[in-house]
C-alpha cells in the first residue's frame, strides 16, 4: 500500500479549512443581514395592483430592516420574467419578489417550456393578502351591469372585446372563464399592465375589462369607470354598492388574486426569519394596514409553511381554468 505523506494531505486540509471558513462567513452574513439595499421585484408596470402593493410595503419594510427596499418593475411574459429573475438570484435575501397569482398560478402553465416550479423554485416567505377581481366598464360606451354585458356580448356574435392587464394574467383567465360561462364570443385585448389598459378603458377604446380590483377603486369612486361586479362572495367595504359575481348569477366565477413576498430557493433560515418578522410588524402598522385595506386587500397572517402550502394549492386550483382558457405565452 502506498504511504500518504503529510505534505500530500495539505490540499485536503486547506479545502476543508476553506469550506469551514465559508460556512462561518455565510452564517455571519446571515446574522448581519441586511448590510445593503434590498430589491423588491414587481412583475407588472407602475400604477398596477402589484406595483401599488409593493410600494406600500417597501418603505416601511426598509425602515424596519434598516436598509432601503427598492421596487424594481420587471415586466413581461405574464409576470414570469420578473419571477424568473428572482428564482435565479443569489439566495442572500437581497432580491425579493412581490409574488401574485399571475406568475405563480397561471403563467408557468401556459408556456411551452415551464420556466420554473412556482413552489420549489422559490422560498415563500410571507402572505400579504388577497383581493377579488373587478369587472369594469366605460360608463358611456360600456355595459351598465353584468346582465347588460351578457346582452351586449350576445348581440355581437362576431366578437365582443374585453381587456386585461396582459396575456395569461389573472384578468385574462377570468375573462375567458366568463366567456365560457356565457357561451358567447369575446375577443381578448391584452395590454402591458393594468395602467395602460385602464387608460384605453376610460377613453372608450374598449368597453369592458377584467382585472385585479386594487387599482380601480379610486377610478370607480370618481366616476371615471363603472364597476359591474366583484368576483367575490361578499361585498367590498370600499365599493359597497357593487354586486358580487354571485349576486350577478355566476357563482362559478368567484376568484381572487393574492400577494405575497417570496425569494430565491435556498435562502438562509436566519434571513427568512428576519424578513418575516419585519413584515409581520409592517402590515400591522396603522398607516400601512389602512393603505392596503383601502385597495380592497383582505389580509390574513400566515406562517411561512402555511403560505408555501397556499401557493401550492392555488397553482393546483387554477390548473383546470388555465388549461380550458387556451391561453398561451
Whether residue 9 lies inside any domain: the answer is no
> What whole-number distance in Å separates Cα of residue 192 and Cα of residue 188?
13
CATH number, residue 154: 3.40.190.10
The mean per-residue pLDDT over the stretch 242-263 comes to 95
Supply the mean pLDDT for the chain.
91
CA distances (Å), origin 163, targets 44, 168, 211, 259, 311:
15, 12, 8, 22, 26
- Give me the count of residues in the chain: 329
Confidence grade of residue 168 (pLDDT, cut at 50, 70, 90): confident
Q: What is the mean pLDDT of residues 253-280?
A: 97
Distance CA 312, CA 141 (A): 40
Reported pTM: 0.86
Q: What is the pLDDT of residue 3?
A: 52
* Proportion of the chain above pLDDT 90, given as a percent: 77
The residue segments making up the domain with residue 169 are: 132-253
Note the pLDDT of residue 24: 52
Phi, psi torsion values for 293, nearest 5 degrees: -65, -35
Query: What is the per-residue pLDDT for 329?
Result: 74
- Residues whose CB is less than 8 angstroms from the CB of residue 193 and which lie 6 or more positions away in sequence, other chains included: 44, 45, 47, 48, 75, 165, 166
For the stretch 176-194, pLDDT in tens is 999 999 889 999 999 988 8
Predicted confidence at residue 235, as pLDDT, reads: 95
198: pLDDT strictly greater than 90: yes
193 in the same domain as 146: yes
Q: Within this chain, do residues 46 and 186 fall inside the same structural domain, yes or no? A: no
**Mean of the pLDDT values across residues 141-164?**
96
- Ranking 1-5, 124-128, 317-321 by mean pLDDT, the lowest is 1-5
159 and 220 together in one domain: yes
Beta-sheet strands, E only, within 170-221:
186-190, 208-212
pLDDT at 1: 47
CA distance 52 to 66: 22
Of 253, 277, 298, at which residue does a domain stop? 253
Of 176, 45, 197, 189, nearest in space to 110 by CA: 176
User: What integer pLDDT is reported at residue 187 of this predicted model?
Assistant: 96
Taking residues 11-28, what's their average pLDDT?
A: 52
pLDDT confidence of residue 11: 57
Ranges 23-32, 67-76, 109-118, most confident: 67-76
Domain final residue, candidates 210, 225, 253: 253
Least confident of 71-75, 159-163, 177-181, 266-270: 177-181
Q: Which three cell numbers stand for residue 270?
A: 436566519
Tell me: the pLDDT tens digits for 211-249? 999 889 999 999 999 999 999 999 999 999 999 999 999
81 and 151 co-located in one domain: no
Dihedral sign for Cα 243, 246, 252, 255, please.
positive
Q: Does one domain contain both 247 and 262?
A: no
Whether residue 136 sits in one domain with residue 125: no
CA distance 157 to 270: 58
Same domain (yes/no): 227, 265: no
Same domain? 143 vs 243: yes
Predicted confidence band of residue 21 (pLDDT cuts 50, 70, 90): very low
Confidence (pLDDT) at 16: 55
| Dist CA 39 CA 62 (whole Å) | 10
pLDDT surpasses 70 at 79? yes
Q: How many domains does the chain have?
A: 2
Please confirm whether the linkage preceding 34 is cis (ω < 30° from 0). Answer: yes
64-68: average pLDDT: 98
Residues 65 and 201 in one domain: no
- Residue 291: its pLDDT value, please? 95
More confident residue, 134 or 14: 134
Asked if pLDDT for residue 315 goes beyond 50, the answer is yes
**Domain identity same for 68 and 213:** no
Same-domain status, 173 and 228? yes
> Are 312 and 208 part of one and the same domain?
no
Amino acid at each position: 500500500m502506498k504511504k500518504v505523506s503529510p505534505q500530500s494531505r495539505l490540499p485536503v486540509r486547506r479545502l476543508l479549512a476553506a469550506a469551514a471558513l465559508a460556512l462561518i462567513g455565510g452564517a455571519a452574513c446571515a446574522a448581519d443581514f441586511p448590510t445593503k439595499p434590498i430589491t423588491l421585484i414587481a412583475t407588472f408596470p407602475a400604477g398596477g395592483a402589484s406595483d401599488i402593493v409593493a410600494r406600500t410595503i417597501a418603505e416601511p419594510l426598509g425602515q424596519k430592516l434598516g436598509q432601503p427596499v427598492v421596487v424594481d418593475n420587471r415586466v413581461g411574459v405574464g409576470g414570469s420574467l420578473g419571477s424568473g429573475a428572482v428564482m435565479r438570484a443569489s439566495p442572500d435575501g437581497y432580491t425579493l419578489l412581490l409574488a401574485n397569482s399571475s406568475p405563480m398560478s397561471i403563467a408557468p402553465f401556459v408556456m411551452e417550456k415551464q420556466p420554473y416550479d412556482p413552489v420549489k423554485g422559490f422560498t415563500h416567505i410571507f402572505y400579504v393578502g388577497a383581493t377579488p377581481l373587478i369587472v369594469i366598464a366605460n360608463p358611456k360606451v360600456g355595459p351598465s351591469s353584468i346582465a347588460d354585458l351578457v346582452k351586449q356580448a350576445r348581440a355581437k356574435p362576431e366578437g365582443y372585446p374585453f381587456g386585461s392587464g396582459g396575456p395569461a394574467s389573472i384578468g385574462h383567465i377570468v375573462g375567458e372563464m366568463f366567456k365560457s360561462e356565457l357561451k358567447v364570443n369575446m375577443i381578448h385585448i391584452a395590454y402591458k399592465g393594468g395602467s395602460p389598459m385602464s387608460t384605453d378603458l376610460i377613453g372608450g377604446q374598449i368597453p369592458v375589462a377584467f382585472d385585479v380590483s386594487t387599482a380601480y377603486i379610486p377610478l370607480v369612486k370618481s366616476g371615471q369607470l363603472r364597476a359591474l361586479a366583484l368576483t367575490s362572495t361578499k361585498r367590498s367595504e370600499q365599493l359597497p354598492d357593487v354586486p358580487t359575481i354571485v349576486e350577478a348569477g355566476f357563482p362559478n366565477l368567484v376568484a381572487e388574486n393574492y400577494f405575497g413576498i417570496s425569494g430565491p430557493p435556498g435562502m438562509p433560515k436566519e434571513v427568512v426569519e428576519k424578513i418575516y418578522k419585519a413584515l409581520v410588524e409592517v402590515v400591522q402598522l396603522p398607516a400601512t394596514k389602512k393603505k392596503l385595506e383601502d385597495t380592497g386587500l383582505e389580509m390574513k397572517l400566515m406562517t411561512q409553511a402555511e403560505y408555501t402550502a397556499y401557493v401550492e394549492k392555488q397553482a393546483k386550483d387554477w390548473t383546470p381554468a388555465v388549461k380550458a382558457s387556451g391561453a398561451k405565452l
